[in-house]
Each structure stands twice: as C-alpha cells, then as structure tokens.
Structure 1
Amino acid sequence: MITSNPEIMYILVIILFIIIIVLFNSLNKRVRNLENEIAKIRAEQKENFKDEIKDLPEKYLLPQEEEISEREINPSERKDIEEEFKINLSPVFDFLRQNALAIAGIFTLVLGIGYFVKYAIDKNWIGEVSRAAIGFAAGAVIIGIGHFLRKNYAVFASIITGGGIAAFYFTTTIAFREYHLFSQNTAFSITCFVTLVSIFLSYYYKSEILIIFSLFGGFLAPLMISSGHGNYPFLFTYITVINIGMLVIAFLKQWKSIGWIAFIFTSIYLFYWTVAKTDITAVYFYVLSYIVFYAFALQNFFTMKKLLPSDILMLVLVNFTGIIGTVFIFKQLQYDPVIVFPIIFALLNGILLYREHSEKKFGAAHSVFSGIAVSLVTAAFALEFSTHLITTVWAIEATLLLFIWKKTGLRIFRIFFYILFPLVIIAQIMTWAEYIDAENFKIIFNPVFLTSSVTVFTTFINLILLRKNPEKTVSENRFFENLFAVVSYAVIYTALLLEIIYHISEKPLIIIFSSGMLFSLYYIFTILLLRRKPEIGRILETGLLYTFFFLIILNVVMAGSGLITNIVLNKIAMNTYFMYGLYLIPLLYTIVKILPESDFFKIPFSYWLLATTLVTTVSMEALHLYILLFADNINETEKLQEYFTLLYLPIIWAILASFLIYKGLKTDDHEYGKAGFALLAITIIKLYFYDVWKMDNVSRIIAFIILGIILLLSSFLFQRLKNIVVTMVEKKDIKDEDKH
C-alpha cells in the first residue's frame, strides 16, 4: 500500500513549478523576438503607405469629419443612425473566442489551488490560519504574475489579475464562514480593501476587463460574508461608495459597461431590501442611486452633446425604478404624498427640457426629456388616485419607449417596447383578478378601474403612435403591428366590460349577458367609426365587421329570447327590452354607411353573412313582439312560438327572399340573388314538408294563399325589372351604333 509523504509532495510541487518557469521563460523569449520582428515589418509598411498617400490627388482623399449637431432625425438618416448606435455583440464573442483558453485556464488554476488546499486540510498538513494564508498568498502570486505580463499581454494579464482578485474574495469568504478566523466587520473591511485595490489596479492598468471583475467581486462580497442578519444601511453605504467610484472611472475612462453592471446589482439589492424590510431609510439610498446613475446616463450629453441609445434607456430605467421603489415604500408605510418623488424627478427632467428648448435644440434629447417628464407627471397623478403601482408604471413606461422609438427611429426601443408590453398585459390581468373578491367598489373611482384607465389611455396612445410607422412596408413589422392592435383593442374592451359586469353582478344572469352583448356591439361599432383614427388595417376592419354581425345573430337569438322569457315571467321590467333594442342603431348605421366604404364585400361569403344577419334579426324580433303582445303567461309562450313559426315565419321569409333577389338584380350583386333564392327554397321546403302537417285547414288555406300571392307578385316584379334592364341595354347599343 502506497502512503502519501508531505515532504515528497512539497519537493514534487517545487520541481514542477521550476520546470514551468524555465519552459515559460524560454518560450517567452522566442515569442518576444518574433513580436519584435513583426513590429518592424508593420512599421516599414506604415511608412510606405504614408508615402503613397502623399502622391495621391486631393480629390481621392476623404474630407475631414464634420461636427454633427443634434437635430431632428430624418427618416432617410434612420438606417445610418441605427447602424451607428446598434448594439453589436460580436466584440463580446470575439473576446470570448480569443481568450477562452485564458479564462478557462485561470478558472482551472483557482480551482486547482482550492482543491490542493482542501487536500492539505483533509490530510491535516496545515491549520486554519495557514489555510487562509495560502489562499491570500496564492492570490498575491497570481496578481504579481499579471503585473509582470501587463506590458506585452494586456488582456491576458487582466484575466490573470482578475483570477487573483477572485482568490482573495473566496479566501476571505471561507475564512469567515468556515473557519471563523475573524468577525463579520473584519471580513467586510477586507473585502472593501480588496475592492478598492482592484479598482485602483483597473485604473492603473487601464483595463475595463479588470474593473468588471472588480465590480462583480465588490457587489457579491456582501453575499459572501453575509451572516443572515441584514444590516441594510451599512450595506448600501458600501454600495453607494462603489457606485461613486464607478461613476468617477466611467467619466475618466468612458467605460459604459461598468455603469450597467453597477445599476443592475444596485437595483436588485434595493428592491430586495424594499420588499424584505420596508424601511423609510431605503428612500435616501434610492435618491442617491438616482443621482449617481442619472449623472452616468448624462455623461455623453454633457461631454459630446448627444444621447446614445444606451443613455436614453438608462434614463428611462433610472426614473421608473426610482418611482417603483419610493412609491412602494410610501404606500406600505402610509406616507403622503406618494407623488412627491415622481414630481421631483419630472421637474429635474423638465429643467433639462427647458435647457434644450431655450437653446432651440429640438432633436432626440428634447424628445426624450419631454417624454420622460410627461410620463412622470402622468404616473404621479395616476398613483395619487391609488392605482396599482407596477401596472401603472409599466404601462406608462411602455408608451414612453414607443414614443422614443417614433422620435429617434432606433429599433432598440421598439424591441424593449415589445418586451415590456406583454408584461403590462400580465400585470393588468393580475389587477383584474381583484374584481373577484372585491366588495363595495365605487363606480369608476376604484383602484382596479383607475389602473385599467391608465392602461387603456396608454394603449390608445400606443395605437396612435403606431399609426405612422416608418417601417410599414416590412411585412414582419405589419404582422406585429396588427397583433399589437388586436391585443390593444382586447385590453380596452376587457377593462371596460369587467367594470360594467362588476357593478351589475347582482342583477339576473340574462341582464348581465344582455348588457355585455350590447356593450360589445357598441364597442366594435365605435372602433369602426374611428377606423382611421387610429388607422386599422383592412383585414382587421373586415374581421371586426364579421365579429359584429356574428354578435348581432347571437344577441337576437339568445339575449333577446332570454329577455322575452323573463319579461313574461315578470322577473324583469318591460323597459329592459327597449334598452336591448338599442343594438338596432349601430346595426342600421353599419349597413347604410360603413359597409359601402369598406372592403367587406370583396369576399363572397360576406353577402351571405349579411343576409343571414338580416333574416335572423327580422324573424326573431317579429317573434319577440308577437309573444309580448299575445302571451299572458309562460305556458302560452310555446304555443304562440309554434303558431308564429308555422304561419307567419314563411311569409316573412318569402318577403325577405323577394327583397334579396330584387337587391341582387338592381345592384348586379349576384350573391344577394343567390341568398334570396336559397331562402325562398328553404321557405318552400319548410312549408310543404313540415308546416302543412302541423296547421289546421283554415291556417293552411291562409298560408298558401298569402304565399302564392307573394310569389306571383315577386315573379311579376322580376319580369318587369328584367324588361327594364333589357330595354336599357338595347338603348345603349343603339347609341353606340349611332356614334360609329
């Protein structure tokens, strides 16, 4: 059996380390000589290129770059601006591809040191203090190697140094959590010191990669040394110090990535504190974070006089995360007024807007500041009326993103809008769920409907903003716009319908159903009336018309019949039926005014749907009036209905069939004629194969006589109309011959 010997292990490790150093030094010399030769060749090529350029005529030389002033962005320039501001991830993938071995190597080295220390611990070679010392020493050695390599291998050295910093963090965490070598305050002080050293090294080495390592370590350090008892003021004092250091370096080095990393970590910590332990102290840190990250977002605005897409997005997120946190705390602790911080943030943006306006700059920054200021004021008034926080803020924020997209033409804001809008819908659905258990809600002035009103208002604004889309010609964009329009109309419809149903929920079921149907018809009718403000697509318009006529049929068959039955039973008043009859106004107006201006009749089925709607409506309403006039109790209803079906319905259908045939001949719309003949055939089949076997002799005679007279008159009318048409055609042919 082989036994492990510590002395032999130490000797083997030292020998291996010496071999690695010798090999690395030899290889490094060869690589350095090769780099020097390549540098000389490049220098010679550069000098030759300069000499060639001097000999070129001026017309072939590129003009000096003109200073670009901020102005309103023309549609023709949008594509170029999008390319300039496009978020391109290829450098990230290039970095990972080129430095994958280095990243994997440093990660493996840190793990190897950890496993070696663990092995030594398992064998009781070293004590707890020695274990921590080995970790710190290993981190220092790795950082020293990075420092040694920084001149010739900047990226590789940054990765190496980041690994050393990670070793410091992990060693401190293990020494505090597992070995209890020092107190939490001491561990926290060590992590702060490590963070400051790493930030200093990042600035000294001019390495953005290293400061990213430092930020991750700095923000994760509190989690590493956490004991489960949150000291939030101390924690956020530490985070604020990191954020201020980040801000200074961002201004000095123009490193945008560190600001976003700090913002994400800070927001997560703040929201966790806000939910876990709502404390008014958190408001101060929200304000401090707002100031720091607002200054970060405005860096390019003050230095280069322009706002990049990432800056605009940061401005939007900073304002609305600040609102969510501060308003939530005020509501939970019942402080007033809840609108104080939305108004303060709006004033700050208003000052920047005034600055742009006074300097007569009406470009992207002017639009952004005006949009944010108006959105914050809107959110303030909405929140003052006790609307739901998340739903309200997200709805307004989505509209703001859409507004910025429309003003700048930058696709990133359209993408974020399409990401955020579904979240608005989900939040609104959760808000609507409160109707189920709610009691004694006021009409309109209740939290659920007021929140729905904000969503409805912002959704309507969204529809208006999308009306003039600069990318309408792209079929993919049209698909998303149509889908968005359908969802938007559905949100507005649901919000209003649920409020109505809630306040009439104690009424009989037929009243609720009838009211819902009437509202649905008027809602679609309103959209059709305003179909160009905002504009809806022709396909969507035709779909709305189809839905409208299907609902008309459903309304007269179910709602109308149900109301008649309940009126006869004396469960509801007669005036309810007159309220139900209000559906005739949108129906008649749609047939007379809207259909001729639409593309409804481009589909042959549309004629049949309209004919079915008219026949069903006239037949059912005649039946309803007949029952109302002659039914004294519910027992008579069934008999009256059967008598009406046998005697009067064939007559009504024959008249309607004649009208449809006449309409088809007059307008040359053959589908009307086909529908009329189909209805006439159904009437005759029904009469001969069903009705005659149910009638008494007198009724049978009356039905046959009346139907026969109607058919004869219709035949005479058709023959006369046919002769008129033939005569008109002949006269036209004679005139054409005379001209020739």
Structure 2
Amino acid sequence: MDNSEKLNLLLIKLENLLLRQQGFEAEIQALRNEVSALQSPGSVSTPPTINPEPIITAPPRNTPPGFVAQHSTVPQPTPAPIPSPANQTQPNFAERFKRENMVKSDFEKFIGENLISKIGILILIIGVAIGAKYAIDHDMVSPLTRIVLGYAVGAGLMAFAIKLKAKYENFSAVLVSGAIAIMYFITYAAYDFYALIPQALAFALMVVFTSFTVVAAIKYNKQIIAHIGLVGAYAVPFLLSDGSGKVGVLFTYMAIINIGILVLSFKKYWKPLFYASFGLTWIIFSAWRLDLSSTNNYFSLALLFSTLFFLIFYITNLAYKVSKKEVFGFSDVVILLLNSFVYYGIGYLILSDNKNSTELLGLFTLANAVIHFVVCLIIYKKNLADKNLFYLILAMVITFITMAVPVQLDGGWVTIFWVVEAAVLFYLARIKKIVIYEKLSFPLIFLAFFSLLEDWITYYDIYNGNAAIITPILNVGFLTACIFIACFFWMFSISKKESEEPVAWIWMRQILSYSIPAILVFVIYITFRIEISKYFNNLFELSKINTTPKTRFYDSISEYNYNYKTLKTAWIYIYTLFFASALSYLNIKKLKNTKLAITNLVINIWVIIVFLTFGLYKLSELRDAYLLPESKYFIIGSFNIGIRYVAIAFFALLIVQCYQLQRSGLLKKDLKTMFDYLLYLSILWIISSELINILELSHSEGSYKLGLSILWGIFSLFLISMGLAKNKKHLRIGAMVLFGITLIKLFFYDIYSLSTISKTIVFVSLGVLLLIISFLYNKYKHLIIDDAKIEN
C-alpha cells in the first residue's frame, strides 16, 4: 500500500468518527430533553429524530491518487422508543434508593468488618499485656506458667484465625496479626526477664515468627498483618522493660523485625509499613544514643547497629524499585536521603564523642561515599534502574566526598577540592546535559567561595596576631586563589554557551549567570590585593629595630617604619585604578557584555570617588612623611612624592576607559552629559590637589586659599569657553555654579585670612575673569540663542 492509499484510508476513518460523534450528540440531547420533561411533568417532550448518518466506505484497492471517497448510506439501528415519563419515574426512584442504601451499607461495612475488628484486636492485646503484668507483679503464677499460657493464647488465636480464613478473610487477617504480636511478646519476656530460654532459641523463635508474618502478609495480601505483627512488635521491649539496659538484645530484636520488612519489600511495596518501621527504628535508636550524652560506653554496639539499620533500610528502599524497574518518586528520594544523613549524623556523633576515634571522622565520611559508590556502580553495570536513580546515588557519592574534605582536611585544601568539584559538576551539567549535577554544583559554588573568604580572614588573623612573614605569590593562599580563579573562569566560559533546552529551575540558572562572573571578578581583585599587602607587610616587619634592649624588668622597645603602611595603601589604590581600567577594556574589546558594562560604569564611578576623596589624602600623607619624617631611624625617599604622579597616570587611564565605555554603545543610553561632569569635575579636583601639593613642597603655607580661588575662577572661564565652543549648555551652567561657589568661598572664608595684597590679587583676578566671561557671552550670544531654538 503506497502513501496515497494509506492517506485515503486515514481520512475515511476520521470522517466516520466525526459522524459517530454527531450521533452521540443527538442522543445526549434526547436524554437532556427527557430529564427536563421529568422535572416539569406538565410539559410534553418530543424526542428529536435521529437521522441515520451516512458511513463512508473504503475505496477499492489500487485507487488512483486524488480519489475522493463517496458517502454511502448504511442502515443504522433504530433507536429504542423512549419510555414515557410515567413509566420512567418508578425505576429512577428505585435506582436512587438503591444507590443511597449502597453508600450507607459501604460505610457500615467499613466500620463493622474492618475498623471494629482492628480496634478489638488492639484492645485484646492491651488487655492481655495488662493482665500478664498484674499476674507478674502479684506472683499469681510461676514464670514458666506465664510463658506457657501466653504461647497457648497466641496459638489458640492463630488456630481460630486460620479456621475463619475461608469465609471471613479480613477478620482472620486481624486475628493472625494479633496472634503474632502475642508470640513476640511472650518470646521476649521468656528470654529477657525469666531466662527460661537461651538467647539462640529466642532469636530463632523470633526469626520463625518474622518469617511466618511475612508469609501470612503475602498470602492474605493484607498490610494490617505486617503492621500489627511487625511494627506492633516494637512496643514489646518497652512494655516489658525493667531498666536492665540490655540494649544489645533490644537492637537485635529490632534488626530481626526490620529484616522481615526487607524480605517483604521484595514481594510487596507497602509504603506505610516501611515508613512506620523506618521512623520507629531511627527515633528509638537516636533517643537512646542522645541520652548517653558524651559517654564512651556502647561505642562498638552503637556503631554496629546504626550501620546495620542503615543498610537494612537502604536495601529495602532500593529493593522493590530496582526489581520492578520503577522510577523513584519524591517520597522515595526523601527516605533515601533521610536514611543516609540520619545514619551519618549518628555515626559522626558516636565517633566524635569517643576521644580515641575522632581522627576517623574523615574516614567514616569517605566510607559513606564508598557505600553509595558501590551501589551506584552495581546499578550502572547491571542496568538495574533508570538514570535518575543512578544520578541520585552518584550525587550522594559526591556529597559525602565533599563533606569528607573539611572533616579531615583544613585550610586551602578544602577550598581547592570544593571549587574543582563544583567546576566538574557544572561541566557535566551544561555540556553532558546531566541536569541534577547543576543542582549539586549550585551549593558547592557558594561553599567554595565562602571557604576562600574564610581562608583570607584566617590570613589576616594570623598576620594581626603573630606578625607572620608570608612570601608574596609563592604561598599556598595564592595557589588556592589561582585554582579558584581558573575553575570559575572555566565555568564562566561554559555558562556563556546558552542551551536551547528547557530548564527546570530557571531561577537557579539566573542566579548562576550573575553570581559566577561577579565572584570571579571579586576574587581576582582581592587575590592580587592581598599579595600587595603581603609584600608591604613583610617590609614593615623587616624594618623592626630594637631601640632599647630587653632587661630583667622591661621588655625591649621596637621601632617600625610606618611609611610602609601608607605606601601599601597608596599602591592598593593604584592597583584598584588599574583593575577597574583593565576590566572595562576587556569588556569593550572582547566580551561586549551589556550587563557587565553597567557593572563597569558603577565600579569606575565608585573607584573615582574613593580615589579623589581617600586616595589623594593618602598621597598627601606620603608627602607630609617626606617633608616631616616622624622617626630618626628611617630615611624617607623622594618616591613618596613620585608615587603621586604614578597614581594620577592610572587615574587618567581610568577616565579614558570611562570615555571609551560611553562611546562603545554597550550602555544603550546617551551618557555624554554625565561623562562631561565626571571628566571636568575630576580634572578640577586633581589640579586643585596638585596646586596644594606644589604649595606644600615650596613651603608656602596658607597660600592655597588664594591659589584655589584663582584656580577655580580660571577653570570656570575654561568651562564657559568649552561650553561655547562645543555648544554644551550644561558646561556653561556648571561653570556658573563653580564661579558662584568661588565667590561664596572668597567672601565668607578667604577674606578673613588673606593679607591686603592677597585680597587685591584675588579680587582683581576674579573681576577680570568675570569681565572676560561677560564678553564671551556677548560675543557668542547667537550660539546660545540658536541652541535654545534647537532645544525648543
């Protein structure tokens, strides 16, 4: 059959289905009319005529392409006559009455056959327990008689349950579960309290009861048997406890019960049973271990049984899913993670409380990773489950390896391991499309970052406390930071390759898209800043001179060259100017990222403000240290003056990069006006600072007031000239504001401290400048008028 014949057949089938749909709609409408007629007895409904729809017959074989099938009428079955309303009322009422009674009977059946029986068997067990305890407390019967009577009650209840199974299966299942609980009760009492049976026989009987419970639960297919028979057996040790502290017996008893649940999980997957056993076991064990406080008693016992419980629940949780090849649900994942971390927490507590095993904490953490790795390897080799389970357990391996590093190691090694692991997981997630690894890398990225911050804080603490000398560049801290930078740069290059596939956690990817480059830039800056600090800190420590020798009663007095401290700060400002310039250049020439461009602008403005305020002040301190040295033991060179011009050169470089950034188009807004203000204000600030510097070097104290007023007036004239030449109104307005500030400064600050000659010079100079400004406005007023017309 070629494609054209197949297409014709599909079209015919589609048409037939549409015709049948129309027939169904007509019948539905007829039923609606009948319902309306029953609701309004006075009206007479006329059933609509259902016309037989033509059925399209299939074309003969070898039909040429383009053949259109013809409609052929096929007799449809005549619809049955619709009964009259009078005849319809009685059956409808009977059906409703039957349905209401069925709901009532179902509820009554649930209470009578199900709920009452469970409550009854529970009350019976409690009654037997109370009666037995009363008989024990009052020595009414001998211990052997108590045990024999207990087994007799359990056996009788079991026999009665088996007899009723054929006709009353649900009731029989409840009785079987009660009988099993009684058997557990009696066996535990016979061994633990009366020593009537040896330990081996007691455990053998419990294994038999557990096996019987498993078989019974499977045969009856009733979860209630397992619940009452197995989970209910947890209460036995506590009901009969005399405080003897035989925890080994208790945990062995619990382990046997849990093994029964493990076997049952291969046949059935009853989640409530598993959850109850899981919760009760860990709650009982955790409560016991926490109650021991920090004592070293039961060290081996606690470690042995916690490991046994962990393995039982681990295998139980995987058994059914792996055997049936079912996908793990949310609750399964929660139980798997909870079991692993509860066991790890208890194990960590056990080892840390024992003074002889604290060094094994890292090995214990790594052992957890090995257990998960072995399971992961078996699942992968045997192809036992879906990929999600494989990746989940592999994630557990990675998690425990991650935890083992800080437990066993310290310092930079933790940071190195975490950042490398985060980078590898990020690579596997983005390149190999293993989504779960990106979720695992997310916390690791920030863990590695915070670990690096802790390393830096530790370095400063060591330096401030012990004045340690650390060689710049050639140290572990710098190596750690370089590996961190390399890993983050790798992740940044991977993150730029956008994937078209849908992402489950979009918010996480958005956070990473900003966090990775931000952390990368921050770490690069701080890394080299710290190395600069290390260099000058070493110089400061090496400059130490003992001016007074140590005596019996007094310590020696030492002198340090504090000029190195100020030089360190100055070089950090220079480095910051260079870093901001380099970052802007890299983005303009290579990256061309608009988001980074906004960040560049903010960083550049912030660095400019900080340098103009605090940076120039530190440079003035270097000048003062050169002019007026504080210590006679150290020689302050002229580099204290020269470094000022190095800093100004890098400041000019940053201003140029701001200009290039504004012209690059990455900012998507016209910021020419803002850049003009930034440029000319920076120039005014620098030349004002330089004027004060020159006056200080020439020992012209007090002349800076006169000089600044004249300088600001000349700069105002310069701004007006630039505003007229380039037709920039904002420059002209800025010049007027500056001139106004100069005049205010002159009349309210300068005039009181200036001599007559100085006042004359200032007033004459400013007067001349004002006349020149007025002349320029009159000469070029047509430019200002044309500018105003253009704006309007």
Smaller-chain TM-score bracket: 0.5 to 0.7
Instruction: Say if 1:309 and 1:410, in contact at 8 Å, map to a contact too.
Output: no
Q: Which secondary structure state, in structure 2, belongs to the residue aligned with residue 684 of structure 1?
A: helix
**Deviation of 1:645 (Å):** 1.9
Aligned to 2:470: 441
Q: Is the 8 A contact 2:411 2:455 kept in 1?
A: no
SS of the equivalent of 2:637 reads coil
Structure number with greater CO (CA < 8 Å, separation at least 6) is 1
1:293 is aligned, of 372, 375, 393, to 372
Change (3 A) 1:306 1:112: closer
Q: Which amino acid aligns with 1:565?
A: D
For residue 547 of structure 1, report the CA deviation from its aligned partner.
0.8
Whole-angstrom distance in 1 between the partners of 2:132 and 2:401: 50
How far residue 293 of structure 1 moved from its aligned partner, in angstroms, is 1.8
Q: Which of 644, 649, 652 does residue 711 from structure 2 map onto? A: 652
Confirm or deny: 8 A CA contact 1:623 1:641 kept in the other structure. no
For 1:85-104, list aligned pairs within 5 A.
none
Counterpart in 2 of 1:643? 703
In structure 2, the residue matched to 1:510 is 566
More helix by share: 1
Q: Name the CA shift for 1:681/1:237 in 2 (closer, same or farther; >3 Å).
A: closer
Residues 284 and 484 of structure 1, relative CA distance in 2, 3 Å threshold: closer
Where 2:471 maps in the other structure, the secondary structure is: coil
Task: Report the equivalent of 1:637.
Answer: none
Deviates more, 1:569-578 or 1:483-492: 483-492
Q: Distance in 1 between matches of 2:647 and 2:266?
A: 73
Query: CA 1:189/1:480 → structure 2, altered by over 3 Å: closer, same or farther?
Result: closer
**Is residue 612 of structure 2 the alignment partner of residue 547 of structure 1?**
no
> Partner of 1:589 in structure 2?
653
Whole-Å separation in 2 of the counterparts to 1:604 and 1:584: 23
Q: 2:422 aligns with which of 371, 386, 398?
A: 398
Q: Secondary structure at the match of 1:702?
A: helix
For residues 522 and 134 of structure 2, the distance between their equivalents in structure 1, rounded to whole angstroms, comes to 65
Matched residue SS, 1:441: coil
Is the Cα–Cα contact under 8 Å of residues 557 and 620 in structure 1 kept in the other structure? yes
Question: In the alignment, is residue 264 of structure 1 matched against residue 341 of structure 2?
Answer: yes
The aligned amino acid for 1:195 is N
1:682 matched to 2:730:
no
Shift in Å, 1:566: 1.9
1:172-216 per-residue CA deviation (whole Å, 9 max, x = no partner) reads 578789334x462x4443333223222001112244554555555
DSSP-derived class of the 1:675 partner: helix
Give the superposition deviation at 1:706.
Answer: 4.2
Residue of structure 2 equivalent to 1:205: 268
* Residue matched to 1:252: 323
Q: By how many angstroms is 1:493 displaced? A: 3.6
**Following the alignment from structure 1 to structure 2, what is the Cα–Cα distance between the partners of residues 587 and 119?**
93
Map of 1:382-531 to 2, 5 A cutoff?
387-407=411-431, 415-435=439-459, 436-438=461-463, 439-469=468-498, 481-482=513-514, 485-486=517-518, 489-505=521-537, 506=540, 507-508=562-563, 509-531=565-587
Structure 2 residue identity aligned to 1:315: L
Q: Distance in 2 between matches of 1:531 and 1:302?
A: 48
**In 2 relative to 1, CA 437–703 (structure 1 residues): closer, same or farther, beyond 3 Å?**
same
2:628 match: 569
The SS at the match of 1:573 is coil
Distance across 1 between alignment mates of 2:282 and 2:57:
57
Instruction: Return the match for 1:136 from 177, 184, 189.
Output: 184
Q: Provide the residue aligned with 2:97 in structure 1.
A: none
Q: 1:57 to 1:623 in 2, by over 3 A?
A: farther
How far apart, in 1, do the equivalents of 2:649 and 2:673 lie?
A: 25
**Match of 1:615?**
684
Cα distance in 2 for residues equivalent to 1:114 and 1:428 = 60
Moved more, 262-271 or 588-597: 262-271
* RMSD (Å) for aligned C-alpha atoms: 5.3
Whole-angstrom distance in 1 between the partners of 2:512 and 2:404:
32
Contact map agreement 2:368 2:400 (CA 8 A) in 1? no
Q: Structure 1 pair 289/124, CA: closer, same or farther in 2 (3 Å)?
A: same
1:100-115 aligned at under 5 Å gives the runs none
User: Conserved in 2, the CA contact under 8 Å of 1:662 and 1:718?
Assistant: no
**Deviation (angstroms), 1:261:** 4.5
Query: Which residue of structure 1 lines up, in the alignment, with residue 253 of structure 2?
Result: 190
Name the stretch that deviates more: 467-476 or 226-235.
Answer: 467-476
8 Å CA contact 1:143, 1:161 repeated in 2: no
Q: 1:697, CA displacement in angstroms?
A: 3.2
The answer to whether the aligner puts 1:178 opposite 2:237 as a matched pair is no
- Does the Cα contact within 8 Å between 2:379 and 2:385 map onto a contact in 1? yes
CA-to-aligned-CA distance 1:553-589 (integer Å, 9 cap, x gap): 1234421222222222224433134334333233222
Structure with higher Rg: it is: 2
Deviation at 1:409, TM superposition (A): 6.5
For residues 519 and 409 of structure 1, the distance between their equivalents in structure 2, rounded to whole angstroms, comes to: 40
Deviations 1:423-465 (A, max 9, x none): 4444333333322134333334444444444444444444444
Residue-by-residue CA offset, 1:267-297 (whole Å, 9 max, x unaligned): 4355556655557877776666444422444
Q: Is the 8 A contact 1:202 1:208 kept in 2?
A: no
SS of equivalent to 1:642 = coil
* Partners of 2:362 and 2:407 within 8 A in 1: no
For residues 325-340 of structure 1, what are the structure 2 equivalents within 5 Å? Answer: 325=404, 328-329=407-408
Deviation digits for residues 228-274 of structure 1, max 9, x if unmatched?
43128745864685488456665424464365445434543555566
Partner Cα distance (1:597, 1:390) in 2: 39
| Correspondence 1:673 to 2:762 | no
Q: Which runs of 5+ in 1 are unaligned?
A: 1-54, 59-101, 332-385, 632-639, 733-740
Deviation at 1:681?
2.2
Cα offset, 1:707, TM superposition: 4.1
Give deviations 1:625-673, integer Å, cap 9, x for gaps. Answer: 3312x13xxxxxxxx3521222x21232233323333443444443333
* Contact 2:402-2:418 within 8 A present in 1 as well: no
Pick aligned residue for 2:642 from 575, 578, 581 = 578
Amino acid in the other structure paired with 2:243: E
Instruction: Measure the CA separation in 1 of the matches of 2:673 and 2:258.
Output: 74
- Residue type of the alignment partner of 1:575: F
Counterpart contact for 1:142–1:163, Cα < 8 Å: no
Instruction: Report the counterpart of residue 9 of structure 2 in structure 1.
Output: none
Contact 1:177 1:225 in 2 (8 A): no
What does residue 195 of structure 2 align with? none
TM-score normalised per structure 1: 0.61
> Is 720-729 or 563-572 further displaced after alignment?
720-729
1:619 alignment partner, SS class: helix
Per-residue Cα deviation, 1:591-648 (whole angstroms, up to 9, x for no partner): 22432433385385554344332211221122113312x13xxxxxxxx3521222x2
Preserved contact between residue 243 and residue 262 of structure 1 (Cα < 8 Å): yes
Cα displacement (A) at 1:318? 1.0
Q: Check conservation: 1:391, 1:428, Cα contact below 8 A.
A: yes
Per the normalisation by structure 2, the TM-score is 0.57
Which amino acid in 1 is paired with 2:469?
Answer: N
Identity of aligned residues (%): 16
